[in-house]
Structures are given as structure tokens and as C-alpha cells.
Amino acid sequence: MELSELKLICASNLIRLRTAAGLTQAELGAKLNYSDKSVSKWERGEAIPDAWVLTRLAEIFGVTVDYILSSHDAWVPPDQEDEGPQYSRGMIYAVAIVGVWTMALTGFVVLWWMGYIYWQAFFVGLTASAIVYLGLSLYFKRTKNLQYMLAALVLSVFVLIYVLTLPYGNNWQLFLIAVPAVAMVFLVCNIRRRPKRKKPAKP
């Protein structure tokens, strides 16, 4: 088999596997710590991934390296729930977030009618919105900006604790803990697994 033919086979398989997994080129590139331009280059058949990338691709898609490099004329994509109406993910995000703020505002108004001005309800809504947004992003496998979403959630939790404890004193010291906590989120999210180095063969 010639190299040009192998590139086309690999490109075809990558496109099929990626689309079946519901990933964009940018999302797949993020999983591999490569740019979307590299993924696009592989899928156009202009280049072929190296051995380590092929191994990672096999792990991500649950196939073997041989599968990626072999022709599959009878390839059938996995069953997907394509039947029925399709809904905009952006609209689902909007409905969920507006729903959270509607509940927060409802709680605020009800307490107001009862004679309590509980403005902290809006900060509860802020934290709940961050949780809902993160949950939907994980469900839809949109994890490109996961570190920023987690950082926002952690920060909103500290703000909520600060607001709830404000009547008992100005506990601004909480934000001294928030700074390293947010930094830890970014550090953990940027941990990358390095490929194992092969030991040189003994003579």
C-alpha cells in the first residue's frame, strides 16, 4: 500500500469516527493537545498522525490503531438518536439558565411578600447557573473551556459563602483561599499525559 493511499484511508476513518463521536475538529484537537489545523490536515489526507497520536485516537474512539489505518468499505456508523426533531444546544443552555434565574427571582419575590428582603437569592442563582452550565457542557461533551467553567464555579461558590456569612461579619479572608483554589483548577486541567519513552534495545 502506498503512503498516499494510507493517508486517505486514515483521513476517511478519522472523519467517520470523529463525527460519530459528536466532536468538532477543535474538540478532538484539544483532547490530543493539538490544534484544529493539525486535525484538519489529517482529515484532508495531507499528513498522517504519528504513532503516539494514533494510539491516543484509538483510545478516544474505542478502536484499535489497525482499525484507523485499515479500509472499511462496509463501515456502519454507530446508532445515533437522529430520529425525531433536533434541538439547538444553545437554546437548551438558554432555557436552563433562564429557568434557574426564574426560580431565584420567584424565591426573592415570595420572601418579599412575606416581609423578608433576601437579596442573597440572586447569588444562589449565580452558583446554580454555573453548575447547570457545567453540567450541560459535560453532557454535550463541550469541554474545550472546561477549566474556565470550573474556575467560574469555584469562584461563585466562594462569593456565595461570603454573601451568606456577611450578616455575621465581613469575612473577606475567604477570597485568600479562593485565589489558590482557582489556580489549582487551571493547573489540574492542564495536566497532560506524556507518551512513554521506549527504552533502547539492548545490544
pLDDT given for residue 194 in this prediction:
55
**pTM score:** 0.52
pLDDT given for residue 193 in this prediction:
57
pLDDT given for residue 82 in this prediction:
45
Do both 182 and 97 map to the same domain? yes
Do both 11 and 62 map to the same domain? yes
Place of cell 470550573: 150
181, 144, 103, 160 alpha-carbon torsion, rounded to 10°: 10
Handedness of CA 105, 110, 113, 119 (dihedral sign): negative
In a domain, 40, yes or no: yes
In a domain, 174, yes or no: yes
**How many structural domains is the chain composed of?**
2
Query: Domain range for residue 56?
Result: 3-68
In a domain, 14, yes or no: yes
Do both 30 and 117 map to the same domain? no
pLDDT given for residue 2 in this prediction:
75
Are 31 and 55 contacting, i.e. CB atoms less than 8 angstroms apart? no
Angle at 107 between CA 103 and CA 108, to 5 degrees: 115
pLDDT in tens, 96-124: 999 999 999 999 999 899 988 888 888 98
Do both 151 and 62 map to the same domain? no
Do both 130 and 185 map to the same domain? yes
In a domain, 135, yes or no: yes
Sequence-distant (6+) residues with CB within 8 A of 39 are 14, 18, 25, 26, 28, 29, 32
Do both 63 and 117 map to the same domain? no
Do both 54 and 94 map to the same domain? no
pLDDT given for residue 195 in this prediction:
52
In a domain, 123, yes or no: yes
Q: If the chain, 203 residues long, is cut into consecutive pieces of 10 residues, what is the mean pLDDT of each piece?
A: 80 89 88 89 88 90 88 52 58 90 92 88 90 87 80 89 83 86 83 57 49
CATH of the domain at 11: 1.10.260.40
In a domain, 137, yes or no: yes
Do both 13 and 102 map to the same domain? no
pLDDT given for residue 117 in this prediction:
86
pLDDT in tens, 64-74: 988 888 886 54
Do both 95 and 184 map to the same domain? yes
DSSP the chain: --HHHHHHHHHHHHHHHHHHTT--HHHHHHHHT--HHHHHHHHTTS----HHHHHHHHHHHT--HHHHTS--TT--PPP---SS----HHHHHHHHHHHHHHHHHHHHHHHHHTT---TTHHHHHHHHHHHHHHHHHHHTT--TTHHHHHHHHHHHHHHHHHHHHGGG---TTHHHHHHHHHHHHHHHHT--PPPPPPPPPP-
Amino acid identity of residue 116, one-letter, is Y
Do both 131 and 176 map to the same domain? yes
Sequence-distant (6+) residues with CB within 8 A of 32 are 38, 39, 53, 56, 57, 60
